[in-house]
Amino acid sequence: MKTNMDAMSLRSLTLIHEFEQYIIEHPRFAEKIPYGAQVVLLPVYDKELREYNLRNAQINAEPERPVVHVEITALRPRRSLIVSPRMKIPKKLSANGKKSQRKKAKLYA
């Protein structure tokens, strides 16, 4: 059970991180959230995580504190922001940083 809870916590933290990124890119969305509100992220695409987040929200609820449910339809696939990387390896070094032990192959006729 602990492994499942650890996996759920990791999935929840990933969703929190993505939501924080969204807020940075869309500050007007954040302006609609009441000050001091408990924000509960409810992924539509992941029923298990949705229930996990709702359960944790109920456990951590505080009287008089507003609660906001944010439904998240989907996450886009993760992509790198790197554009056209080029790799250059000095001739005297191999890819792992050690001197290359490779010798030129001899051709036999």
| Domain boundaries defined on the chain | 2-72
Q: What is the CATH number of domain 2-72?
A: 3.40.1350
If one compares 80 and 34, the residue with the highest pLDDT of the two is 34
CA distance 45 to 47: 6
Question: Which of 54, 63, 65, 50 lies closest to 11 in space, CA to CA?
Answer: 50
pLDDT of 36-60, one tens digit each?
999 999 999 999 999 999 999 999 9
Q: Which pLDDT value is given to residue 96?
A: 62
Q: Which pLDDT value is given to residue 49?
A: 96
The pTM for the full model equals 0.67
Q: Which pLDDT value is given to residue 2?
A: 59
CA distance 29 to 103: 61
